[in-house]
Amino acid sequence: MNPFFDSNCYRPNFDSSPQGFYTFADYGSSPQPHGFTQLSQDEVVPETQPTTNAGPSTQPKQKRRHRRKLAADTEPAVGGSSRIEKWTTEEEFQLTKAWIDVSEDLIVGRNQKGPDFWSKIRNQFFQAMGRGEYRTNDMLSSKWRDMNLKVRKFNGIYSQKWQTRRSGQSDAMIERKAEEQYREEFNAHFSLQRNSGNNNYINTTPKFQGNFWPYGISYFDPPTGRFSDGRIIPDFIAEYAGLPLIPTYLDPQNTEFVYGANFASGGAGVFAETDAGFVVDLRTQLKYLDDLEKQFRQNLGDSKTDQLLSDAVYLFSCGGNDYFSQVSNNGSIVYPYTHQQYVGMVIGNLTHVFKKIHEKGGRKIGINTLPPLGCWPSIRAGRPDNTCNYEIDVITSLHNRKLSEKLQQLEKQLDGFMYSLFDLNTEARKRMKNPSKYGLKIGDSACCGSGPFGGIDSCGGKMGTEFDLCDNISDYFFFDSNHCTEVVYRQFAELYWNGGESNVTAPYDLKTLFRGRRSPAALRKEAM
């Protein structure tokens, strides 16, 4: 099995030679003008073709109007008439931890009166949450009973799956099957894993977070931070690879990363100046990998660490925010460079990171082309005539061409270097222009947001305003003004994994990279 660097952690089993899966940069886009400084530059030849404009809007005429829920809007508390906030994933985790700690205390234990027992749990819970006493003992005990009931239900399903497991099924596969059956039987999501986003653990704003309703509405309850209604590409890739969700690196509760780590930060770019102060830039994410390597060498030794880093797949989604951040209020691109120079700097910084990973022993890179950002709802909504921005399309086309050329060069220059380049641009265009061919109905408008095409970034009330939410999310290509729905991310992940037709993923698909320790020559021969 191979490690993969993005979602949730799992207990290591070194005998099975885990392969890591590590995801970097951004799985979200947040257009916002910022300056930047030059970091590094590659030579870029100016040549590109503008893309065609999207056709007439097919946006629905009616949506449900919502406003963001504040503390005063939340559900009634158990055991009283006051209203209190809904439980978050962090609260559920800290309540469970407090119950276990108090129960296993040799002096205190569980053989004590109920009020005293729950008072001790309550004290530890509030200390961990770092805020005032906003829940009563009855609220905590009621929540615990509810959680315990769900755990018992899931445990019954998991035990049955374990007893009837087939040869070759990993713990992660069995756990995922149990989660699917739980969802079918009880119409609710259950997961043993913590998989929230890195932006939940930095000082940022709601603009760069997706940890509130209706994000996650189709799969995660409560929301985790993913900028979608459910799972995104790395979640499905982990599933196809037989891995659990990959753990968030900045979550202090995550300490095991041999199956992978998620360094990604929504809104991040290759430049430190892109959305500076609100996200974790790519260079900092690379430093996190440095720190993780040191941890591996200390805990696993050099030999196992070298093998782990060599077998790992490193997934990137990068560059879009570096271009988005240069869009001015009138929709034009503002920077003191030619487009060729700026694209060269973006590709140059990506190349720097690829080479640093190669120096560590990493050999397998997965990355996608930039989508047609010029026709994104957030861009069209900000233009007087609501048309696509041709200038952005020219830049993204140049980026995609230069990225492909650079990867081909690196394959020749770096020993053992392999890559999977997924043509996200082409696949996105197909679905935006002809949604019905791919099981969709709306290809140019966001399910969640406001304004023309749902392009005002107000989903969940993040702008302090009302927003619209569609009734049938799976009909849409876009969930919010910049991100896709789960059903679309699944389609992309399948093409990324299997390759599909017309070399949509080349020169290798991700499944080939995850096969193991075969040489590049052998893998290329098998893929032909």
**Distance between CA atoms of 194 and 343, rounded to whole angstroms?**
36
Tokens in use for 337? 């460079």
- Concerning whether 325 is annotated as a catalytic residue, the answer is no
Q: Quote the strand ranges of 90-199, DSSP E.
A: none
Nearest to 1 by CA among 514, 366, 420, 511: 514
**Distance between CA atoms of 527 and 525, rounded to whole angstroms?**
5
Altogether, the residues listed in the chain come to a count of 528
- Concerning whether 471 is annotated as a catalytic residue, the answer is no
Q: Check if the beta carbon of residue 447 is closer than 8 Å to that of residue 469.
A: yes
**Active-site residue (options: 30, 170, 191, 458):** 191
Q: Check if the beta carbon of residue 7 is closer than 8 Å to that of residue 262.
A: yes
**Distance between CA atoms of 158 and 382, rounded to whole angstroms?**
49
Please give the C-alpha separations between residue 307 and each of 137, 360, 415, 475, 477, in angstroms, as whole numbers: 49, 11, 16, 44, 39
Instruction: Name 415's Cβ contacts closer than 8 Å, sequence gap at least 6.
Output: none
- HSE toward the beta carbon, residue 344, CA cutoff 13 A: 14
- Concerning whether 480 is annotated as a catalytic residue, the answer is yes
Q: Check if the beta carbon of residue 460 is closer than 8 Å to that of residue 453.
A: no
**Distance between CA atoms of 203 and 53, rounded to whole angstroms?**
38
**Active-site residue (options: 42, 378, 483, 509):** 483
Give 3-state DSSP helix, strand, coil % of the chain, rounded to 5: 45, 10, 45
Helix (H, G, I), strand (E, B) or coil at 293: helix
**Active-site residue (options: 26, 480, 481, 509):** 480
State whether the Cα torsion 78-81-83-84 is positive or negative.
Answer: negative
Nearest to 379 by CA among 27, 54, 49, 36: 54
- Active-site amino acid positions: 191, 480, 483
